[in-house]
Amino acid sequence: MPPALREDACLALSDRFGAAIIRSDAFDVIAGHGSAGAEIVQDLPDAGSVLVPVCNGGLLAGIAVAVKATCPAIRVIGVEPELAADGAASFRSGTRTAWPVELTYRTRADGLRAPVLGALAWEHIHRYVDDMVTVTEDAIDTAAALLLRELGERAEPSGAVATAAYLAHRASLPPGPVVTILSGGNVASAAAAS
């Protein structure tokens, strides 16, 4: 099925079977993601920054709200692949901006291909997030390989983007410890070894 039709197909199936669709930027989901932010400030209140992968923004929104509520000095930074940087474009323009799926589907970070930030997530991101950065496909691969080699973590490309941002942007990050969110290990063993 073409990527541009997937959401419509999902909605049609939901209607057909009477199923509920829980969007990853729904209020309860954002609040749940906030628990990660609360744990970060509890364990590392002197952190300088938190780097968070961005798809439709629910994870970033939840972490940003929780971190800023407790430790507003910690910088919360969203991370996207360059090839799916609708959130970074939104952040820079101050307006929620959609990209065509033909563009966002170019990245191998398939968990971050949403063409636009969720409306509720965008409200929180616009208010609480300090910056958005992007990373290249090569940087994502390098970070995934490093996570496997050094930590034994099999990170999918989407999960490795925050580490990629640390590697690419560490010179411009504020002083203090840096937290990177590793948000996915959905990768086959053979793929992770390459």
CATH number at residue 117: 3.40.50.1100
Q: Is residue 15 in a domain?
A: no
Q: What is the pLDDT of residue 8?
A: 75
Question: Quick one: DSSP state of residue 80?
Answer: E
Sequential DSSP letters for 12-62: HHHHHHT-----TTSHHHHHHHHHHHHHHHHH-TT-SEEEEE-SSSHHHHH
Q: Is residue 10 in a domain?
A: no
* Per-residue pLDDT of the chain in tens (194 residues, 90 and over written 9): 666 667 777 778 888 888 887 777 889 999 999 999 999 999 999 999 999 999 999 999 999 999 999 999 999 999 999 999 999 999 999 999 999 999 999 999 999 999 999 999 999 999 999 999 999 999 999 999 999 999 999 999 999 999 999 999 999 999 999 999 998 766 655 444 44
Q: What is the pLDDT of residue 192?
A: 46
Which residues is 51 bridged to in the sheet? 77, 180
Q: Is residue 18 in a domain?
A: no
Q: Is residue 1 in a domain?
A: no
Q: Is residue 7 in a domain?
A: no
Structural domain boundaries enclosing 67: 23-193
Number of Cβ within 10 Å of residue 79's Cβ equals: 31
Q: Is residue 45 in a domain?
A: yes
Please give the tally of structural domains in the chain: 1
Is 131 within 8 Å of 157 (Cβ atoms)? no
pTM to 2 decimals? Answer: 0.89
